[in-house]
Structure 1
């Protein structure tokens, strides 16, 4: 036994020495300038993990305000909150940017049932954003199950008077759950447009998640170019309910499904983007923006979507100030309003930027939840993409291995130009769609350490972008 203990101890010691050797080798492989960067990045991570603020900011936002759908009282309160928090951090200037936003309200809690073999089954259901209400006493009709928009189109006039049930699940073989989401979300967005044209009475959609649970997922839908008299009520049912309904339709293809909802779209409402900045010390006319969206769907607390992105974006500025890092370019933090059902805030921000002839050189968005950091997606020209990818040696010690070309985010996307480098923060995606657009998206689902690691990851790439990214003339370290 003593020999075994000694052997284990030697193994652990040798492994630790090997790890130290690897760290030394990696450090030796860095240039003198990169060693400075490595030290500064480590300082950012140390600071957030010992004195981070994002978790308590998120607690305040979610517990004292809660859901923040555009046009709602919660959204209005969140604007006041956002301005106050930015001022507390001590940004050089803070202001509100007016924007008119859509105002859709859910109304009374939705109801859905059907009966099979004399047993009534209650179905977890929620209206989709921008859907109309059902008639006062609801909709009752036979159900036709389809897996795609093309399958629905092929039914043609057979849809008349029926409820169309879109039941295409996530592709679980895809490692990126965002790719799986992208492969399914068209049925949620465009289902009513396709089916309303053929006289369907309503549409129900399987929730956008890879989990099997009882939480229906809301989200935006569209009627496209349909005339108003062709609009039909549209709702999502939970993934478990979708599986059960599909099995029950095999037993009784003629079963009748009932649902009732009282949602409506009100006139546009006034709101604001919340904007704050640290003025650049050398080239203040150059702007690097970092942000997320302040609004959220109305079912939960908007914790992962996108409270985490909001507080992480502000924590980037907090970490710069705490560690006396003076950005060369102006660092601007933006809490965008109305990403969920219109992106009006993003469009207004970009329009005003163009009108004011502002010069953005880069942007970073966090809107993929607050889970463990994995890396960043890069939307940039070839030279700047290679520049950012050259930083992998500095970022990979913190688990940031993914630096691939891809999209950046809905809110900074409108700033896209040839020489504007846009980046999307990418945490691990495996749990994100457990919470996305549901009543389950609450503060208790966010891990403090994961959230703070994300803030430091974002601060690190902003530090590098600020130091090395120049419009038209990118310079490598």
Structure 2
């Protein structure tokens, strides 16, 4: 009995020593990754070119095409095992000449206000659209008011993001339905147009665009929809209290075209032990057209590119095949993410892990994970390795829109979670520009992503390795 107890003690000691050695090795590797990213990172230079030389990369635009060719060229420079373009058909919508709007409180007495067309909206008539305004706070209020009070009017959705929510993505989710479905619902009750308060916690003059849907409403019955800046929304709301019969005028010249071909950009380091098992890291290459798309999502693309470069820099040879995927058309269709998932299914590719960066290039705080309990328990044990960098927020939650279509049982999906307090100041607005990105914060995100990919590759998923045994 004593011999058996001694044997158990020796085995336990060996396990503890092995774990200590593994943790020390992992700590040194992650330190090396951060050192390289912060002294020899490439993400900021790549983003400079994407933002300042190419600019906003709206799906189907010439800028999106240039971004595809540029990132393909840069990935080829890294000496990856494979780089290729994956064709995908995407929608093409153009904004046209800048929008114009004013609030008319009396004949001849008006003040201009800043608006922008929502992505996918139909244009106003050639001479613009002027009508009385009715303010609402929700889609449900439209049904309560009914056709009698809405017909012939412009519906003004004025539900702000909730400032009490520390998670600003939750605040965004709490009001984005009025942007996405506002025109579709208002049109059912005879509205002639829609004005939506911008999805931003900042009080400023920047209107924020974003995707919208008309559902199955025929084209000739669709009504134009625009976003108004938060400052403009507050002014319009105050003016309506004083003068309920005021008029709102706006003119927009947007236009939809037939789908065009674009591409997902993909680079791969082929796995040394499991070449047919795939881990991917990525962001979306397209952006809205008002700014240059630096935070949404140029940052995620260049960080993902740097993950593969950093793995090569530190001399790490992955066991699994690691792919960077720069998805096209996340903003107004998610065609790139769906096409990648469909091609993976048709080729019977075994994807076990996917990481997306699509929350801006701000200071990284950690990651959220869409996984089962067994995989999350393993991931949670890695928190101490990221604590020295203050990037140890590891929680269950969402991952990313582009990698969502890949989801299957046992697979782990993850999303980089930067500090989100300033993100919606820039999201989908003309203020989403390169000067709003901090080089060090961007590089810290790239390093954190590389560290997580390294650990996932080294230890695998619990589904892959079988059940955890004591």
Same-fold status (TM-score > 0.5): yes
Match status 1:73 vs 2:62 = yes
Distance change in 2, residues 1:437/1:476 (3 Å): farther
Q: Does structure 2 conserve the Cα–Cα contact (< 8 Å) formed by 1:103 and 1:266?
A: yes
Q: CA RMSD in A?
A: 1.5
Distance in 2 (CA, whole Å) between partners of 1:82 and 1:238 is 33
Q: Name the counterpart of 2:118.
A: 128
Partner SS state of residue 355, structure 2: strand
Q: Does structure 1 conserve the Cα–Cα contact (< 8 Å) formed by 2:51 and 2:293?
A: yes
Partner SS state of residue 425, structure 2: helix
Q: Name the counterpart of 1:16.
A: none
- Correspondent of 2:133 among 140, 143, 148: 143
Q: Name the counterpart of 1:60.
A: 49
- Correspondent of 1:472 among 455, 464, 470: 464
Q: Does structure 1 conserve the Cα–Cα contact (< 8 Å) formed by 2:105 and 2:247?
A: no
Q: Give the total of aligned pairs.
A: 451
Distance in 1 (CA, whole Å) between partners of 2:372 and 2:74 is 35
Distance in 1 (CA, whole Å) between partners of 2:79 and 2:200 is 40
Q: Does structure 2 conserve the Cα–Cα contact (< 8 Å) formed by 1:392 and 1:403?
A: yes
Match status 1:112 vs 2:101 = yes
Partner SS state of residue 140, structure 1: strand
Distance in 1 (CA, whole Å) between partners of 2:381 and 2:255 is 50
Q: Name the counterpart of 1:154.
A: 144
Match status 1:252 vs 2:243 = yes
Q: Name the counterpart of 1:190.
A: 181
Distance in 1 (CA, whole Å) between partners of 2:212 and 2:36 is 42
Q: Larger deviation: 265-274 or 461-470? A: 461-470
Runs of 4+ residues over 6 Å off in structure 1: none
Q: Does structure 2 conserve the Cα–Cα contact (< 8 Å) formed by 1:384 and 1:474?
A: no
Partner SS state of residue 465, structure 2: coil
Match status 1:210 vs 2:201 = yes
Q: Name the counterpart of 1:84.
A: 73
Q: Does structure 1 conserve the Cα–Cα contact (< 8 Å) formed by 2:103 and 2:236?
A: no
Partner SS state of residue 386, structure 2: helix
1:195 Cα offset (Å):
0.5
Q: Name the counterpart of 2:276.
A: 285
Match status 1:169 vs 2:166 = no
- Correspondent of 2:311 among 317, 320, 344: 320
Q: Name the counterpart of 1:34.
A: 23
TM, length-normalised to structure 2: 0.94
Distance change in 2, residues 1:156/1:107 (3 Å): same
1:474 Cα offset (Å):
5.5
Match status 1:355 vs 2:314 = no
Distance in 1 (CA, whole Å) between partners of 2:168 and 2:445 is 19
Match status 1:385 vs 2:376 = yes
1:203 Cα offset (Å):
0.3
Listed as ranges, the matches of 1:224-243 within 5 Å are 224-243=215-234
Distance change in 2, residues 1:92/1:475 (3 Å): farther
1:30 Cα offset (Å):
6.7
Match status 1:311 vs 2:311 = no
Distance in 2 (CA, whole Å) between partners of 1:228 and 1:46 is 55
Partner SS state of residue 74, structure 1: helix
Gaps in structure 1 of 5+ consecutive residues: 1-27
1:475 Cα offset (Å):
7.7
Q: Does structure 2 conserve the Cα–Cα contact (< 8 Å) formed by 1:287 and 1:359?
A: yes
Match status 1:103 vs 2:95 = no
Q: Does structure 2 conserve the Cα–Cα contact (< 8 Å) formed by 1:468 and 1:475?
A: no
Distance in 1 (CA, whole Å) between partners of 2:72 and 2:167 is 35
Partner SS state of residue 204, structure 2: coil
1:229 Cα offset (Å):
3.1
Distance in 2 (CA, whole Å) between partners of 1:284 and 1:182 is 38
Partner SS state of residue 31, structure 1: helix
TM, length-normalised to structure 1: 0.93
Q: Name the counterpart of 1:22.
A: none
Q: Deviations over 1:53-77 (max 9, x none)?
A: 1100100111110011111000011
